[in-house]
Amino acid sequence: MWCNTSFGDYPHYLPASPNPSEGGALDPGNFKNLSKESRSGIPPLGGGGAFAGWYLLNYKKPVTVSSTLGSFYANNAVDESIKTYWSAVSADKGEWIQTDLGNVSTVNAIQINYADQDAEFLGKQTTTYHQYKIYSSSDGKKWDVLIDKSNNKTDVPHDYVELEKPVQARFIKLENIHMPTGKFAISGLRVFGNGNGKKPDAVKNLIVLRTEKDKRSAYIKWPPVDNAFAYNLYYGTAPDKLYNNIMVHDLNEYWFKAMDSQKPYYFTIEAINENGVSEKTKIQKVE
């Protein structure tokens, strides 16, 4: 029994069948909509699916908003932290948030994670709903409706929408129509696709220092990569079983405390940006 946690909260394809003998999940040919480039070198998840090959396009990119409540700043919506969020001053129709991808990119999917600012109730409700529109633009002047949920009648606090066809856009704008409660607040506006640019450079040297007194722990460090915003640190108890993964944003170090003290471990790392991933470092054994 195993699970590959790489890009665990990024878009993935679901399997048609969980049984490989029936042409199911573990057969890469099962993912007919997955490009050869996306499929190449991507291990399937335990139990099925495969990473779609769509990367986060707007991590800490510029954001503009219709209004800001107190210290709930705009860029909190694109920092990949569950602890922070942006809030408008009201829940009025027309409040909006706009993210700049930096350049014209291929957009495949969008996820909206709402925040509970001044919410009058918590938990799932059957009679409440969110309504919104999402627009796209290449120049920030001419806008096209990308997603229209102005007639939605369901509660979607963590809505995820895949586009039927990818679009080329630089700006994505989310406009509020109706909130079920509280103010229009967003903890995560996540745009997935490909930035149409250069993939990050590879990490040059991964250092794993396992502590002598308590071999369950290790201090892990690597030189930062200038054109990367995150790293995937892979580890496992065999060089061909690096199913476990930790995604590290911004930092180039990690204090690791999850090993069996009696076993050797294997590590490798790759850099991530909006255009893809780098080559992994050479797998190293740590005893």
CATH number at residue 67: 2.60.120.260
pTM comes to: 0.88
- Residue 52 gets the label, from left (phi > 0), alpha (psi -120 to 50) or beta, of alpha
In degrees rounded to 5, what are phi and psi of residue 74? Answer: -60, -45
| Cβ pair 25, 265 in contact under 8 A | no
132 and 77 assigned to the same domain: yes
> Cα(23)–Cα(62) distance, rounded to whole angstroms?
44
Please indicate, yes or no, whether residues 119 and 155 belong to a single structural domain of this protein.
yes
CATH value at residue 246: 2.60.40.10
Domain boundary among 167, 194, 221: 194
Provide the domain count of the chain. Answer: 3
Q: Is 126 exposed, middle or buried (0-12, 13-18, 19+ CB in 10 A)?
A: exposed
Is residue 17 domain-shared with residue 73, that is, in the same domain? no
Domain endpoint, select from 194, 220, 244: 194
pLDDT score at 16: 62
Q: 259 lies in which domain range?
A: 198-287
Pair (167, 84) in one structural domain = yes
207 shares a domain with 246: yes
Tell whether 158 and 202 lie within a shared domain: no
What CA–CA distance (Å, rounded) separates 255 from 217? 7
Q: From first to last of the 287 residues of the chain, give the pLDDT tens digit.
A: 778 789 999 999 877 655 544 444 444 444 444 444 444 444 444 345 689 999 999 999 999 999 999 999 999 999 999 999 999 999 999 999 999 999 999 999 999 999 999 998 877 777 899 999 999 999 999 999 999 999 999 999 999 999 999 999 999 999 999 999 999 999 999 999 999 999 999 999 999 999 999 999 999 999 999 999 999 999 999 999 998 999 999 999 999 999 999 999 999 999 999 999 999 999 999 99
pLDDT at position 49 is: 61
CB atoms within 10 A of CB 21: 8
If asked whether residues 189 and 231 sit together in one domain, one would say no
Same domain for 131 and 158, yes or no, is yes
**Do 161 and 183 belong to one domain?**
yes
Do 28 and 105 belong to one domain? no
Q: Are 168 and 104 in contact (CB under 8 A)?
A: yes
- Indicate the length of the chain as a whole number: 287
Are the beta carbons of 112 and 193 closer than 8 angstroms? Answer: no
Question: Is there a single domain that holds both residue 144 and residue 65?
Answer: yes
Instruction: Using the 3D structure, point to which of 194, 217, 245 is the last residue of a domain.
Output: 194
Q: Are residues 127 and 176 in the same domain?
A: yes
